[in-house]
C-alpha cells in the first residue's frame, strides 16, 4: 500500500515540477525576472513543492514500513 501511495505522490510531485517550469516561462515570470532578477513566487513555490512531494514519494516507495 505504501508503494502505491508513494507512486501517486511521485506523479503529483512531477506534475507540480512541470507546472512550475511552465510557469517560469510565462510572460509574468519573464517580466518579474527582468525587473527583479528572480521568477515569481508562484513559480518558486510550485517547483519547491514538486521537489518536496517527489522526495516524499521516493521515501515512501523505498523505505520499508514495520
Average pLDDT, the chain: 91
pLDDT bucket at 12, cuts 50 / 70 / 90? very high
Q: All 3 cell numbers of residue 33?
A: 525576472
Q: How many CB atoms lie within 10 A of CB 40?
A: 18
Share of the chain above pLDDT 90, in %: 58
Domain positions in the chain are 2-62
d(CA 34, CA 43): 15
pTM for the whole structure: 0.84
Amino acid at each position: 500500500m505504501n508503494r502505491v501511495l508513494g507512486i501517486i505522490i511521485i506523479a503529483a510531485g512531477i506534475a507540480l515540477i512541470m507546472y512550475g517550469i511552465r510557469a517560469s516561462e510565462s510572460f509574468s515570470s519573464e517580466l518579474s525576472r527582468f525587473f527583479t532578477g528572480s521568477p515569481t513566487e508562484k513559480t518558486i513555490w510550485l517547483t519547491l513543492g514538486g521537489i518536496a512531494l517527489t522526495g516524499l514519494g521516493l521515501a515512501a516507495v523505498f523505505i520499508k514500513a514495520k
